[in-house]
Structure 1
Amino acid sequence: MRSLRAVWVVLVLVVVASGMAFGAETLLLRQPDIFGDRVVFTYAGDLWEVSAQGGDAVRLTSHPGTESYARFSPDGEWIAFTASYDGNNDVYVIPAEGGEPRRLTYHSGNDVVQGWTPDGRAVIFVSWRDVGFGGPQAYQVSLEGGYPEPLPLGQAAYLSMAPDGKRVAFNRNWGEFRNWKRYKGGRAQDIWLADLSRKSFRRLTHYEGIDRHPLWVNGKIYFISDRETGVNNLFELDPGTGKITRLTNHRDFPVYAPETDGKRLVYECGGALWVYDPARGAETRLRVRVPSDRWRSRTRRVKPSEHLGDYDVSPDGKKLALEARGDIFVVPRKGKKWINLTTSSGSRERYPTWSPDGKWLAFISDRTGEYEVYRIPAEGGEWEQLTKDLRGQLYHLRWAPSGDYLAFGDKDYNLYVLEVSSKKLTKIDRCLNHKDYEFYWEISDYQWSPDGNWLAYSKVDDNLNSSIFLYNVKSGKRFRLTDDTFDDFSPSFDLNGRYLYFLSQRNFAPKMDPSE
């Protein structure tokens, strides 16, 4: 009996393990909306629907383009969304259970669905159709079709109409800043309240960071903000008293794209969907499985020549090292076979650069989970890791002509010199400023002297002018060559190493931002 019981236990464990394997949770679920017990969201460019308790999702769309910003109608009968079925991002609707999409807008501008009017007769969307470079404006278009009507809000984004249809909570600026955490620049959003009947506007928040995506729930305005924690969380705002209360406490991942049916809210966080219930004052993570064929992630053959990145010419001029789809290739003269030096589908290799003697290639790779510097014999062989414990993106590997050192920068504006033989890494400088245009962000403007003993580089000063500096690898000392009176950059030694040339802007003509 004991052995039979043990067999049953093993069988049960096998079945459970198999079920878990085939029922793994799907992540990267985006832009959800909720109505009662139904949640609609975007995954891999298509719309899916799932229970508000989680479980297996059901596909609603299958177009090769992207369907996004799905919103249930107030009665739950329709779903409005943005799609490109006919080549441009326009507003479409489908029955909530799925069906053939019906197009509501016809304009070359980008139309992004925001929601519905409270009576369910029209879809609200924002569009850049009439503003060009500026922020979007809000419109409504009838469910039956017709010409869209502008809403009298001016520049508006992420808007939510109150149940009475007279008040609108909204932001002035568009943008989620997913790749710019704790943004506090000129496009940081505040919550505004418009009273359409009185034609009045009132700014409800005055936070220097992000207050975005307001939603009406039980007479209060819910929104996301990075105030208090530095990470987007869900907040409640009383429009009468101005009192603001934080409702969630996510610390690892920010909250994005909240939506509501007026009773509960759904949002994305950490790639998963969460439901917040104001009545309970608690959030619940939905465990969702999307039974997709995931055809985009299947193994397939590609031509690396169609996906080229950075490159470097060998010292003898006979070979080219280049990156293509995350691997490093050596390309001989025309007609010869490409050689894949790294062959690593699980990591990304970038910025190949030849050693002065042509025997090695240095590059960066994220095979450890963070970018580090490596080298590999130019004829192929084992990788040698030269750095460890670095974090974030690295830039512009440059060998010293002696072959003894490598210089590179990183996303935190640090500049490093690496002694190759000992693997000793020295941070020689850091810049705390960047110019207000696209050319110089990290410290990336540096050149070696012909003997490999000096590294010349430019660094941005507090007045946003650059100055020229020198670093000596033997003494470890740094020298400033120019002050911040003028904008000095692009240093370069002559062939004998006797002179250092650089570019300089020596005029005081004002320069406008390219976007102004």
Structure 2
Amino acid sequence: MRKIKLSFIFITIMLCFVSSATADDLPSVTALFQLTNSSMEEYDPSWSPDDSELVYTVDGRYGYELWIMDLDGSNQVMHLQSTDWLGQSDWGEKGILYTSQYSFKRDRHHDIWIAEGEGVIPRQLSINKTDQQNPSWNHNNTKILFQGRVNYDHEIWTMEPDTSNITRLTFYQAIVEKPTWSPDSSRIVYSFNGDLWVMNADGSNNIQLTNDSYEQLDPAWSPCGKWIAYSSNENGDFDIRIIRPDGNNNTTLIQESRDQTQPDWSHDGTKLAYTTYQDLNLDVWAAAIYIDPENYTPPTPTPLKTQIVIDEEAESNISRLVILGGAIVILVIIVFISKIIKGMRKK
């Protein structure tokens, strides 16, 4: 029985080791930086393709604007200005995708636009009068993911930059928000009914990651593909949390005495830009993130369970041997006692 017990202790140690290794691989925040600090509202940041700059929305004095600043918050320069609302930008190799909402029309729907560089007039990509929001480039800038209105609901769609091949991916007949590609564009994460979901790029295999009474919003897939950052009000205010694409290791990454929303990973995975809300003002912050995806080893509980099963079988076999041995000993004792009784009768 000692062998069985030692084997069980070994398995327990292995499970603790795997759990410890997984905990050590959780991304951690090493520093927080405030990048904007004006009386205007500044929010919804997106990294440039080389991670040297950020584009973000400014609620300016004379309208809404898209601004660009350096990584450290310096050189803040206005990129676009409009009397219409501008936001939800995503900066790719082919240009900056963004959403514009008409301010002075009866049908104040959102349209998707692209700013393809300095001196180039922005081009409208929306081709109908339905509400279209949250555009997102795929990994090689050949497809655009977005949410589009169907009747009173929002569904997930894709199209090519020339507005061809428009494809509907979801049919929830509800409001689906903030779809975002995985790093290889094979999967999509989105928010539906306050929870996070993932699906294949063709709209199949929808899997729910969270299931609670809190709001889980603004999902953003890490470049290594191992984590999804999002904002959640589980702790009261909105914090930045992370979760595995399979729904495991759901934990808080950034928790401060203010709301944190709209996380966006840098392309090298070492930084996370996000929006804070405090004292009736929105500002852009950035977090330095330590993440080492190369050293991440997913838990492998199956072999350990198999080992436990083998040990249980061994224990069962030993129990059978003990019972059989005990029966033999009892039989020998009975035979011995019988012989003694017979000898006493002869006397």
TM-score bracket for this pair, using the shorter chain length: 0.5 to 0.7
Counterparts of residues 344-423 of structure 1 (less than 5 Å)? none
CA contact (8 A) 1:55 1:288 kept: no
Structure 1: stretches of 5+ with no match in the other structure: 1-50, 174-184, 227-231, 298-516
User: Equivalent residue for 2:229?
Assistant: 266
| Correspondence 1:135 to 2:109 | yes
Tell me by how many angstroms 1:130 deviates.
8.9
CA contact (8 A) 1:190 1:210 kept: yes
- Opposite residue 124 of structure 1, the aligned amino acid is L
Q: Secondary structure at the match of 2:63?
A: coil
Structure 1 residues 145 and 105, CA, compared in 2 at 3 Å: closer, same or farther? farther
Which of 123, 131, 134 does residue 158 from structure 1 map onto?
134
Structure 1 residues 215 and 77, CA, compared in 2 at 3 Å: closer, same or farther? same
Greater radius of gyration (CA): 2
Structure 2: stretches of 5+ with no match in the other structure: 1-25, 259-276, 281-347
CA contact (8 A) 2:127 2:163 kept: no
Q: Secondary structure at the match of 1:67?
A: strand
Structure 1 residues 288 and 139, CA, compared in 2 at 3 Å: closer, same or farther? same
Deviations 1:52-105 (A, max 9, x none): 624652211111011011111232211111003453211111112211311111
User: Equivalent residue for 2:200?
Assistant: 238
Deviations 1:179-229 (A, max 9, x none): xxxxxx942211112244681222111113222211110311111112xxx
Tell me by how many angstroms 1:147 deviates.
2.2
Structure 1 residues 116 and 287, CA, compared in 2 at 3 Å: closer, same or farther? closer
Counterpart-to-counterpart distance in 1, 2:49 and 2:229: 16
Tell me by how many angstroms 1:241 deviates.
6.2
278-287 vs 60-69, which moves further:
278-287
Counterpart-to-counterpart distance in 1, 2:279 and 2:217: 25
Counterpart-to-counterpart distance in 2, 1:116 and 1:189: 23
Tell me by how many angstroms 1:146 deviates.
4.0
Deviations 1:132-180 (A, max 9, x none): 323111111145354212225544211212122222221114xxxxxxx
Q: Secondary structure at the match of 1:253?
A: coil
CA contact (8 A) 1:91 1:113 kept: no
- Opposite residue 255 of structure 1, the aligned amino acid is Q
Counterparts of residues 43-442 of structure 1 (less than 5 Å)? 53-54=28-29, 57-117=32-92, 119=93, 122-129=95-102, 132=105, 133-144=107-118, 146-154=120-128, 155=130, 156-173=132-149, 186-196=151-161, 199-217=164-182, 218=184, 219-226=186-193, 232-240=194-202, 242-249=204-211, 251-262=212-223, 263=225, 264-270=227-233, 271-278=238-245, 281-289=248-256, 296=279
Structure 1 residues 285 and 258, CA, compared in 2 at 3 Å: closer, same or farther? same
Counterpart-to-counterpart distance in 2, 1:115 and 1:260: 13
User: Equivalent residue for 2:293?
Assistant: none
- Opposite residue 223 of structure 1, the aligned amino acid is Y
Counterpart-to-counterpart distance in 2, 1:216 and 1:128: 24
Structure 1 or 2: larger helix share?
Answer: 2
TM-score (norm 1): 0.40
- Opposite residue 87 of structure 1, the aligned amino acid is Y
Counterpart-to-counterpart distance in 1, 2:28 and 2:177: 26
Structure 1 residues 265 and 97, CA, compared in 2 at 3 Å: closer, same or farther? farther
Deviations 1:300-355 (A, max 9, x none): xxxxxxxxxxxxxxxxxxxxxxxxxxxxxxxxxxxxxxxxxxxxxxxxxxxxxxxx
User: Equivalent residue for 2:337?
Assistant: none
Figure out how many residues of one structure are paired with residues of the other and give that number: 227
Structure with the greater relative contact order (CA < 8 A, sep ≥ 6): 1 or 2?
2
Q: Secondary structure at the match of 1:275?
A: strand
Counterpart-to-counterpart distance in 2, 1:131 and 1:86: 17
- Opposite residue 272 of structure 1, the aligned amino acid is D
TM-score (norm 2): 0.58
CA contact (8 A) 1:55 1:287 kept: no
User: Equivalent residue for 2:16?
Assistant: none
Structure 1 residues 287 and 128, CA, compared in 2 at 3 Å: closer, same or farther? closer
Q: Secondary structure at the match of 1:248?
A: coil
Deviations 1:95-136 (A, max 9, x none): 12211311111221111132112x1x5221111249832311
Counterpart-to-counterpart distance in 1, 2:244 and 2:220: 12
Structure 1 residues 187 and 52, CA, compared in 2 at 3 Å: closer, same or farther? farther
Counterpart-to-counterpart distance in 2, 1:90 and 1:198: 25
Tell me by how many angstroms 1:237 deviates.
1.3
Counterpart-to-counterpart distance in 2, 1:287 and 1:213: 20
Deviations 1:371-411 (A, max 9, x none): xxxxxxxxxxxxxxxxxxxxxxxxxxxxxxxxxxxxxxxxx
